[in-house]
Structure 1
Amino acid sequence: MLKDTSCDVLFLGSSSINLWDNIYRDMAPLKILRRSYGGAALRDMLYNYDVIARGYHPRSIVIYVENDLASTPEDLTVGETFDFFRLLTNRLQRDYPDIPIFILSYKPSLARKEMIPKHEIINALLQEYASKRGGLTYIDVASCLYDNNGKLRKDIFKQDGLHMNQNGYDLWTAILKPKLQEAVQQSKETQDSNR
């Protein structure tokens, strides 16, 4: 079990993080740790928090969990989902003060098109929340999945229409990696100046 491990980025998430096969290559030279599993929901992350999120020494944290709004009978409301996000970020900020936390937007998918309106609402709530709270940054990783005509791209998904293939992750990498590199560099500079 990985414990008390230093990293540049701690990725916490569901299958979209877990199935990112080339995440280590895509994020290089950043040292990352991935704590994710398929089907993870925010309530699971909180319940399993001590196993999933504690005991690390990250320079930044990324959260991507979308299964609380997944078109299943177990779905939470948008409001409940937002409350769980706040609980998770509160706990992370308590355990990792001064560590930047990046919240990735909910992504649209071909398999869950009916959920897009709810995803847009939760994304707006998360964006506003992050803008008003220090240490949190919202990153839109949904808009890049649409073509110039506003249609959801089909070439970025695996056959299940839910999970992305490498084309989709390439889009995410282009958006996410520069922000993480900047955060890690700032963290290193701050740490060096405090010595």
Structure 2
Amino acid sequence: MTPTAQRHFSERLEDFSEAPLNCREIVMLGDSLTELHVWNEAVANNLVLRNRGISWDTSDGLLLRLDEIIAIRPRAVFLLIGTNDLWSGNSPETTASNILKIADRIRTQSPGSLIFVQTIFPVTGAPLNWGAAPNKKVRTINALLKSESDKAGYTLLDTYALMVDRNGFLNAAYTTDGVHLNERGYDVWSALVSDALARHGLWKQTP
């Protein structure tokens, strides 16, 4: 992790300590894709969603900060992690294994919590000129997450399918830089989260 990333990580943990989670809240857990969105305003007008995203975080890093989440026995956790693993040196298999470990720890240590594992978004070839290699890893990770969802005790939300274009890249209409989402992309993601909350009895929209 770069000094900038490490500094931001420490700052976010300090922010979390100053605004601790409350028992049975709903937690959005992940990296910058999660951190950079205002979930309450976009998803639920009468429901608190706590943002525990940290930019530059990986599946390894998230495993190390799960205690805060498990301690409050959350009503639900929405997990999206793994994009930064594409460049951290983790193999797709290691990344998927870490995500499964995260879900398993929540399931076993907070058995009343609903767990929503979201598939990793593709990235765009331009303007960052990454080509197709990262997206091959993404597809491998997502396939592993799909194959394990039933026995691992989580609900899979296929966010990848919403974000991918016909060429296997992140839809250019949804991104600011090939990785991060613009307002339109977040609207698409938020709608999926809203639907999941409603289908599982966690939220009912009010006028």
* Equivalent residues of 1:3, 1:55 under 8 A apart: no
Give the % identical residues. 23
* Equivalent runs, 1:171-186 vs 2, <5 Å: 171-185=188-202
Deviations 1:101-151 (A, max 9, x none): 0001010121454311111111011011112233x0111111122356866
**Kept in 1: contact 2:103–2:152 (CA 8 A):** no
Indicate which of 158, 162, 165 corresponds to 1:140.
158
Q: Look up the equivalent residue of 2:191 and give its one-letter code.
A: A
Runs of 5+ in structure 1 lacking a partner? 187-195
Conservation of the 8 A alpha-carbon contact between 1:68 and 1:76: no
1:30–1:181 Cα contact (<8 Å) kept? no
Deviates more, 1:97-106 or 1:41-50: 41-50
Paired amino acid for 1:24? N
Query: 1:77 maps to which residue?
Result: 91
Given candidates 82, 92, 96, the residue that maps to 1:66 is 82
* Unaligned segments of structure 2, at least 5 residues: 1-17
Give the TM-score normalised by the residue count of structure 2.
Answer: 0.77
RMSD over equivalenced CA pairs, Å: 2.2
| CA–CA separation in structure 1 for the residues paired with 2:116 and 2:47 | 15
8 Å contact 2:170–2:178 — kept in the other structure? no
Structure 1 match to 2:7: none
Give matches, 1:160-179, under 5 Å: 160-179=177-196
Encode CA deviations 1:31-65: one digit per residue, 9 max, x unaligned. 111111101111101122224x2332421111111
1:124 partner amino acid: A
Whole-angstrom distance in 2 between the partners of 1:27 and 1:7: 18
Give the equivalent residue in structure 1 for 2:52: 35
Query: What is the alpha-carbon distance in structure 2 between the residues aligned to residue 37 and residue 63 of structure 1?
Result: 12
Contact 1:101/1:137 (8 A) holds in 2: yes
Partner residue of 1:25? 41
Q: Partners of 1:145 and 1:181 in 2: how far apart?
A: 21
Superposition deviation, residue 92 in structure 1: 0.9
Q: Give 1:85 shift.
A: 1.4
CA drift at 1:153? 2.1
CA contact (8 A) 1:4 1:56 kept: yes
Deviation, 1:11, is 0.9
Contact 1:69 1:115 (8 Å CA) reproduced? no
Q: Which contiguous aligned blocks of 4+ residues in structure 1 show a shift greater than 3 angstroms? A: 146-152
1:100 maps onto 2:114 in alignment: yes
**Partner of 2:145: helix, strand, or coil?**
helix
1-structure distance, mates of 2:179, 2:21: 33
Give the deviation of 1:100 after TM superposition.
1.1
Calculate the TM-score normalised by the size of structure 1.
0.82
Structure with more helix by fraction: 2
Rounded Cα–Cα distance in structure 1 between residues aligned with 2:100 and 2:165: 32
